[in-house]
């Protein structure tokens, strides 16, 4: 059985300690979009996350890697965040993630992948040897039944992370 073990866990992206990432020589962050940075299909970042992204961009290169097939939606989200965004990423496939690394001009060991789904976000990071951070979904209660079912199934595959990211910068 495959065990997906994120490097870190955090309740929200805003709980990620940026100073700790700098100490680990991290230079870039690749984010999932829906339910990681914004509620799904809204096109709007929560105010605290948007402000936090502005802080992130001072010290890190960022990108968005989304499985959402809506090119306009994903690219608009990237433009609002001031970063490159890839739709229809095919996670846990690695092609789009490799393109993001190339576009950011960073090596896998210089990047963190952050997302809310173990079988997509965490798995793609592990396949590339990238540090991973699993966050709780923003809209957990409002998800459709099939997504709730898949999250329960994913928990069977996830081992507890070796570190918790709960301290704010």
- Give rounded-to-5 percent helix, strand, coil for the chain: 40, 20, 40
H or E segment and range at residue 155: helix 145-155
H or E segment and range at residue 149: helix 145-155
Answer yes or no: is pLDDT of 168 > 50: no
Answer yes or no: is pLDDT of 147 > 70: no
Distance in angstroms (rounded) separating the CA atoms of residues 83 and 108: 18
pLDDT score, position 119:
86
Whether the CB-CB separation of 150 and 168 falls below 8 Å is answered with no
Whether the CB-CB separation of 16 and 6 falls below 8 Å is answered with no
pLDDT score, position 15:
95
**Domain spans of the chain, in order of start:** 8-159
Comparing 34-38, 56-60, 131-135, 137-141, the range with the smallest average pLDDT is: 137-141
Distance in angstroms (rounded) separating the CA atoms of residues 72 and 163: 36
Percent of the chain scoring above 90 in pLDDT: 73
What sections of 8-144 are H helices per DSSP? 18-23, 47-59, 71-81, 95-104, 123-127
pLDDT score, position 41:
84
The label of the residue with tokens 């890839």 reads 86
Answer yes or no: is pLDDT of 1 > 50: no
- 155: confidence class by pLDDT, cuts 50, 70, 90: low
CATH class of the domain whose range is 8-159: alpha beta
Q: Please give the average per-residue pLDDT across 63-89, as a whole number.
A: 97
Q: Please give the average per-residue pLDDT across 115-143, as a whole number.
A: 87
- 85: confidence class by pLDDT, cuts 50, 70, 90: very high
Work out the mean pLDDT of the chain and round it to a whole number.
Answer: 87
Closest CA to 108 of 94, 92, 120: 94
Which residues on adjacent β-strands are paired with residue 129?
none
Q: In this structure, what token pair is assigned to residue 30? A: 């690749």
Closest CA to 31 of 103, 95, 85: 85
């Amino acid at each position: 059985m495959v065990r997906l073990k994120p490097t870190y866990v955090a309740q929200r992206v805003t709980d990620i300690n940026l100073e700790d990432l700098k100490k680990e020589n991290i230079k870039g962050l690749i984010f999932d979009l829906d339910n990681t940075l914004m509620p799904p299909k809204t096109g709007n970042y929560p105010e605290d996350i948007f402000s936090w992204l502005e802080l992130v961009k001072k010290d890190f290169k960022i990108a968005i890697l989304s499985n959402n097939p809506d090119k306009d939606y994903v690219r608009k989200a990237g433009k609002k965040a001031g970063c490159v965004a890839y739709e229809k990423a095919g996670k846990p496939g690695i092609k789009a993630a490799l393109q993001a690394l190339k576009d950011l001009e960073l090596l896998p060991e210089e990047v963190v992948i952050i997302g809310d789904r173990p079988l997509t976000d965490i798995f793609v990071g592990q396949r590339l040897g990238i540090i991973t951070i699993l966050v709780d979904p923003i809209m957990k209660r409002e998800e459709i039944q099939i997504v709730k079912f898949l999250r329960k199934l994913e928990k069977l595959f996830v081992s507890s992370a070796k570190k918790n990211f709960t301290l704010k910068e």
